[in-house]
């Protein structure tokens, strides 16, 4: 998708610049990004791997431009909290969300399909994803996974809590982990994820330290993580981090509601397990008293997934059934571990 759009928008020319006489706006770089869109992605949505707010000329750097183009497409893919089609994303990228179904963007979509057919299959390449800490020059310092250890994404205090957790300590010792260098588990696509034991420990620490008076259950947070992101550290799709909390929501919880135990200054902060769990728990706590009323568990789950304004308690749906199944699994895990690990 990115390659096809770059081909059409700039003919892969790094210094491409286009002036729109009607809107009097300039698009820049290989993905033809508007400077104001770049500023919005950085300041409001937290895409701060590359800082461009002070100098729009940075948009001519290919890694910066493609990074922000991808961020914009990611936002479009879930526009108004609805999963959008590839056609919507491409046409909205060209003409804006209001013209995603307008006849004026149809030729661009057809050209996109034509160009996409001519591009080499992604299977030909073996390219690692751009690490969050890559420099603005676009040249990774080393190959392989970056920051894929617990210690690189967790404070010393929180790591001590993990080591002091009987079940976690047992699991880590069994797998040969050492203090100062604890590895994440990885799936076949080399994506880091938490074991259920690790996830439950993180939830227990966060709840016991910061939400003990709010009636939150660690098992509920674990079940939410299970159905939203499948315990992946980076999250899945539009859902960022372990709990799938987006940056604007986390910043709102941080700035307006006073949840400041963990800082959240960029979207990358939400890929830290304890940070994501903290803000996920804070959001659940807020939803539990939405509009001043005590809310049911079913309301919490639906509201967490789709927003409180989109809750329909008359319809359970497959996600609620998945949540119940996941919750039951974590309740069983608690019972099984009670004897050997003393899980609270």
Please report the domains of the chain, with CATH numbers, ordered by start residue. Answer: 2-124 (1.10.530.10), 151-341 (1.10.530.10)
Q: Which residues share a beta bridge with 181?
A: 178
Q: Which helix (H) or strand (E) holds 235?
A: strand 235-236
Strand, helix or coil for residue 239: strand
Q: What is the mean pLDDT of the chain?
A: 86
Query: Would you state the torsion angle of the CA atoms of residues 251, 147, 164, 273, taken in this order, to the nearest 10 degrees?
Result: 30
- For residue 141, the model assigns a pLDDT of 40
Q: pLDDT category, 317, cuts 50, 70, 90?
A: confident
Query: Does 47 score more than 60 pLDDT?
Result: yes
- For residue 339, the model assigns a pLDDT of 58
Query: Does 213 score more than 50 pLDDT?
Result: yes
Q: Which residues share a beta bridge with 193?
A: 185, 232
Query: Does 79 score more than 50 pLDDT?
Result: yes
Which pTM was predicted?
A: 0.66
Strand, helix or coil for residue 160: helix
Strand, helix or coil for residue 181: strand
Residue 330 burial by Cβ neighbours in a 10 Å radius (0-12, 13-18, 19+) = buried
Q: Determine which of 15-24, 127-136, 159-168, 208-217 has the lowest per-residue pLDDT on average.
A: 127-136
Tens of pLDDT, residue by residue over 146-199, are 558 999 999 999 999 999 999 999 999 999 999 999 999 999 989 999 999 999
d(CA 132, CA 228) in angstroms, rounded, equals 22
Query: Residue range 240-245: average pLDDT?
Result: 94
Instruction: Kindly state the percentage of the chain with pLDDT values over 90.
Output: 56
Q: Which helix (H) or strand (E) holds 192?
A: strand 192-193
- For residue 286, the model assigns a pLDDT of 96
Rg of the chain over Cα atoms, rounded to whole angstroms, equals: 22
d(CA 67, CA 267) in angstroms, rounded, equals 13
Tens of pLDDT, residue by residue over 261-298, are 999 988 899 999 999 999 999 999 999 999 999 999 99
Let me know: does 243 contact 225? Beta carbons within 8 Å: yes
Query: Does 131 score more than 60 pLDDT?
Result: no
- For residue 20, the model assigns a pLDDT of 85
d(CA 136, CA 99) in angstroms, rounded, equals 33
Let me know: does 224 contact 284? Beta carbons within 8 Å: yes
- For residue 92, the model assigns a pLDDT of 93
């Amino acid at each position: 998708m990115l390659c096809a759009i770059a081909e059409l928008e700039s003919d892969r020319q790094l210094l491409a610049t286009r002036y729109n006489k009607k809107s009097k706006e300039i698009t820049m770089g290989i993905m033809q990004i508007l400077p104001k869109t770049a500023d919005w992605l950085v300041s409001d949505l937290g895409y701060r791997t590359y800082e461009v707010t002070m100098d729009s000329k940075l948009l001519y750097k290919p890694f910066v431009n493609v990074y922000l183009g991808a961020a914009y497409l990611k936002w479009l893919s879930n526009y108004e909290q609805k999963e959008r089609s590839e056609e919507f994303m491409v046409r909205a990228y060209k003409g804006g969300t209001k013209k995603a179904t307008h006849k004026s963007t149809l030729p661009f979509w057809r050209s996109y399909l034509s160009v996409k057919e001519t591009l080499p299959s992604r299977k030909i390449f073996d390219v690692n994803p751009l690490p969050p800490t890559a420099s603005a020059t676009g040249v990774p310092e080393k190959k392989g996974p970056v920051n894929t250890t617990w210690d690189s994404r967790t404070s010393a205090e929180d790591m001590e809590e993990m080591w002091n957790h009987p079940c976690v300590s047992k699991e880590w010792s069994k797998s040969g982990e050492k203090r100062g260098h604890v590895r994440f588990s990885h799936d076949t696509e080399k994506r880091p994820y938490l074991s259920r034991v690790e996830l439950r420990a993180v939830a227990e620490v966060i709840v016991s330290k910061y939400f003990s008076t709010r009636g939150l259950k660690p098992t509920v947070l674990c079940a939410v993580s299970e159905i939203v992101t499948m315990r992946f550290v980076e999250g899945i799709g539009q859902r960022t981090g372990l709990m799938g909390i987006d940056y604007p929501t986390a910043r709102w919880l941080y700035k307006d509601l006073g949840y400041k135990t963990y800082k959240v200054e960029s979207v990358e902060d939400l890929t830290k397990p304890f940070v994501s769990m903290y803000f996920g728990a804070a959001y659940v706590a807020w939803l539990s008293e939405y509009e001043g009323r005590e809310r049911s568990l079913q309301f919490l789950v639906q509201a967490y997934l789709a927003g409180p304004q989109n809750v329909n308690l008359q319809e359970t749906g497959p996600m609620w059934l998945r949540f119940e199944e996941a919750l039951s699994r974590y309740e069983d895990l608690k019972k099984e571990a009670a004897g050997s690990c003393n899980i609270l």
